[in-house]
Chains A and B, each alone.
Chain A
């Protein structure tokens, strides 16, 4: 089960190489990679639910979008807000919302869970779409990016693309290593146990609901981290960022990369963002580029049918699923 020495160093190597990317001085690709990193955080947060706790949420965009709105509504309009408090506050708002919705949605299982998470996300969509709270369907602009000051010293200048890229990289790497530790701890083992056999976990004395709620809350908070960064990158928020298409896209990233692994969602986010970029490239596909979702939808269906373990599954065949297959054959 232990990963080889080389493989355990690989994440550090990848992060190190990625940190050098701004040296290439390619603005277009760097913005794209920043987007990949943000989506990787988002996808990892969902994988915590889908791949490690066995809860298929189809409303994860709610927490992603909520953090963006939290940022837009918290700060003064034409002045920079400090990242030191606005980021934790945005994450906190999302975690709190996840805690509240979690106590409700976790009363359901399976198909119900999928529908109810979607419905609650849609409720939030209507809150921002129909009321004036968040500027209605137009959304809100974030004119000034948050600042990171230590005394008078600017730690990172987020108006600078390179700096913002590094921030996204640091946070994505941080989330990766954080989740790796958490999932290797007792709570991580318990969550996997719940995914595999919830009933037996309960019979063994685990308060299953509390574990699931903890996972749901943490997942919502991390999705909020991603949403905060996305809002900073775009410079505006509108109801689209918490639409169910966003929830579908992030689920696709998790499955495409390979759920139940932490690097899977990262690979999935990379593949998805790049795929979208390629398919909507007018130079290559002409007028068909406008209909890129036709190809994307077809690819999603093919992945669902023929690649259930995602890209990660092409390289590593997990022991776990082999055993499951054998068990099914009996």
Chain B
């Protein structure tokens, strides 16, 4: 059982907990995120039609390691479809998704996941009958399937177990390991959703409304977790909670009717006349 400790430890996943403090003060401290290097992922003219309906139109955006890119917009703006295009859940109608120098547009979701893009779902998408640990263990197993070792007991892969435990701890579910996922509270299921995503050790994280349905305390935890993850991941975040958005965003993109209305630093977006005019939540955005 002596495997090199190259697995998820402190250098990859932040430990549970973190400094207490309000969202805003933390956000200001973290704002100086570097984003000068090559983007790890960018899209060119990404478009998706559903019959005659254009859900995502000509979207170009970039993700850098060390940067949180938040996408906001009213319901039906195409944010979730955009996530699905990046994760391979849907193939684009046209356009490119360049990830680490290769066009992955149209690749199947399992291949994209194996390449290093992980996602969480807006609607909780977990293995309800399994325990929390088994949910995470399965996610970790996906990196080292060992599918041909058909006589080796699944629970005896120490490296996979350790990764699953690290992911559970990071998402704040360490104390729930043996609970069946279906019996968790809604907020805990959201945490599990994130934990499973982390257990696949992605370099790019796509979070689709991770805070939806979470209580204030859990939201606070999740914001801290995302901040910590941003140090060595590229993160795209879809979120409605404006406090969290401005606490987290290094870069902000506003989508309306499938198109990018404005993209830039939070300050640039906040002062954009187009956003002020078009975005219904504008008052909330400007109120500062």
Residues of A whose CB lies within 8 Å of any CB of B are 181-182, 184-190, 193, 196-197, 199-208, 211, 214, 319-321, 323-324, 326-327
Which residues of chain B are within 8 angstroms of A206 by Cβ–Cβ distance? 110, 142, 145
Residues of B whose CB lies within 8 Å of any CB of A are 87, 89, 108-111, 113-114, 119, 121, 125-130, 134, 137-139, 141-143, 145-154, 157, 180-183, 196, 200
Given contacts A204-B196, A320-B129, 9 further A-B pairs with CB under 8 A are: A185-B154, A189-B134, A193-B127, A203-B87, A203-B113, A205-B111, A205-B114, A323-B182, A327-B128
Tell me if B125 and A211 are in contact (CB < 8 A).
Answer: no
Q: If the complex has contacts A193-B138, A203-B87, are A186 and B149 also in contact, measured as CB distance less than 8 A?
A: yes
How far is B189's CA from A323's CA once the two chains are assembled, in angstroms? 14
Closest to A210 in B: B147
Tell me if B110 and A208 are in contact (CB < 8 A).
Answer: yes
Minimum distance in angstroms from A270 CB to a CB of chain B:
27
Tell me if A203 and B147 are in contact (CB < 8 A).
Answer: no
How far is B128's CA from A319's CA once the two chains are assembled, in angstroms? 11
Tell me if B125 and A205 are in contact (CB < 8 A).
Answer: no
How far is B111's CA from A186's CA once the two chains are assembled, in angstroms? 19
Tell me if A186 and B125 are in contact (CB < 8 A).
Answer: no
Sample (26) of A-B pairs whose CB atoms are under 8 Å apart = A181-B151, A185-B152, A187-B145, A187-B148, A187-B150, A188-B154, A189-B134, A189-B141, A190-B138, A190-B141, A193-B127, A196-B128, A197-B127, A202-B113, A203-B89, A203-B113, A203-B119, A203-B125, A205-B113, A205-B114, A205-B200, A206-B142, A207-B111, A208-B110, A319-B180, A323-B180
Tell me if B154 and A204 are in contact (CB < 8 A).
Answer: no
Which residues of chain B are within 8 angstroms of A207 by Cβ–Cβ distance? 110-111
Q: Which of B110, B128, B137 contacts A205 (CB 8 A)?
A: B110
Tell me if B113 and A324 are in contact (CB < 8 A).
Answer: no
Which residues of chain B are within 8 angstroms of A190 by Cβ–Cβ distance? 138, 141, 145, 147
Which residues of chain A are within 8 angstroms of B130 by Cβ–Cβ distance? 193, 196, 320
Q: If the complex has contacts A186-B145, A188-B154, A202-B110, are A324 and B129 also in contact, measured as CB distance less than 8 A?
A: yes
Which residues of chain B are within 8 angstroms of A205 by Cβ–Cβ distance? 110-111, 113-114, 142-143, 200
Minimum distance in angstroms from A182 CB to a CB of chain B:
5
How far is B157's CA from A185's CA once the two chains are assembled, in angstroms? 10
Closest to B119 in A: A203
Minimum distance in angstroms from B132 CB to a CB of chain A:
12
Tell me if A200 and B154 are in contact (CB < 8 A).
Answer: no
**Which of B110, B113, B153 has the most C-beta atoms of chain A within 10 angstroms of its own C-beta?**
B110
Closest to B114 in A: A205
How far is B151's CA from A200's CA once the two chains are assembled, in angstroms? 25
How far is B126's CA from A211's CA once the two chains are assembled, in angstroms? 19
Q: How many A-B contacts are there with CB distance less than 8 Å?
A: 106
Q: If the complex has contacts A200-B127, A203-B119, A203-B125, are A327 and B182 also in contact, measured as CB distance less than 8 A?
A: yes
Minimum distance in angstroms from B155 CB to a CB of chain A:
8
Which residues of chain B are within 8 angstroms of A199 by Cβ–Cβ distance? 125
**Which of A184, A200, A211 has the most C-beta atoms of chain B within 10 angstroms of its own C-beta?**
A200
Minimum distance in angstroms from A183 CB to a CB of chain B:
9
Interface of A is mostly: helix
How far is B149's CA from A184's CA once the two chains are assembled, in angstroms? 11
Tell me if A189 and B113 are in contact (CB < 8 A).
Answer: no
Tell me if B145 and A204 are in contact (CB < 8 A).
Answer: no
Which residues of chain A are within 8 angstroms of B143 by Cβ–Cβ distance? 205
Q: Which of B129, B141, B196 contacts A323 (CB 8 A)?
A: B129
Which residues of chain B are within 8 angstroms of A320 by Cβ–Cβ distance? 129-130, 180
Tell me if B152 and A196 are in contact (CB < 8 A).
Answer: no
Closest to A204 in B: B142
Tell me if B138 and A187 are in contact (CB < 8 A).
Answer: no
Closest to A205 in B: B113
Which residues of chain B are within 8 angstroms of A187 by Cβ–Cβ distance? 145, 147-148, 150
Tell me if B181 and A323 are in contact (CB < 8 A).
Answer: yes
How far is B108's CA from A193's CA once the two chains are assembled, in angstroms? 18
Closest to A319 in B: B180
How far is B110's CA from A253's CA once the two chains are assembled, in angstroms? 35
Tell me if A326 and B182 are in contact (CB < 8 A).
Answer: yes
Tell me if B149 and A185 are in contact (CB < 8 A).
Answer: yes
How far is B134's CA from A190's CA once the two chains are assembled, in angstroms? 11
How far is B142's CA from A206's CA once the two chains are assembled, in angstroms? 6
Closest to B112 in A: A205
**Which of B87, B119, B127 has the most C-beta atoms of chain A within 10 angstroms of its own C-beta?**
B127
Which residues of chain A are within 8 angstroms of B154 by Cβ–Cβ distance? 184-186, 188-189
Which residues of chain B are within 8 angstroms of A181 by Cβ–Cβ distance? 150-151
How far is B46's CA from A177's CA once the two chains are assembled, in angstroms? 51
How far is B146's CA from A186's CA once the two chains are assembled, in angstroms? 7
**Which of A181, A197, A208, A324 has the most C-beta atoms of chain B within 10 angstroms of its own C-beta?**
A197
How far is B110's CA from A202's CA once the two chains are assembled, in angstroms? 5
Which residues of chain A are within 8 angstroms of B126 by Cβ–Cβ distance? 197, 200
How far is B114's CA from A205's CA once the two chains are assembled, in angstroms? 5
Closest to A326 in B: B182
How far is B129's CA from A324's CA once the two chains are assembled, in angstroms? 6
Q: Which of A182, A201, A204 contacts B150 (CB 8 A)?
A: A182
Which residues of chain B are within 8 angstroms of A326 by Cβ–Cβ distance? 182-183
Q: Which of B134, B138, B182 contacts A204 (CB 8 A)?
A: B138
**Which of A186, A187, A207 has the most C-beta atoms of chain B within 10 angstroms of its own C-beta?**
A186
Tell me if B200 and A204 are in contact (CB < 8 A).
Answer: yes
Q: If the complex has contacts A203-B125, A324-B182, A326-B182, are A182 and B151 also in contact, measured as CB distance less than 8 A?
A: yes
Which residues of chain B are within 8 angstroms of A185 by Cβ–Cβ distance? 146, 149-154
Q: If the complex has contacts A196-B127, A196-B129, are A189 and B138 also in contact, measured as CB distance less than 8 A?
A: yes
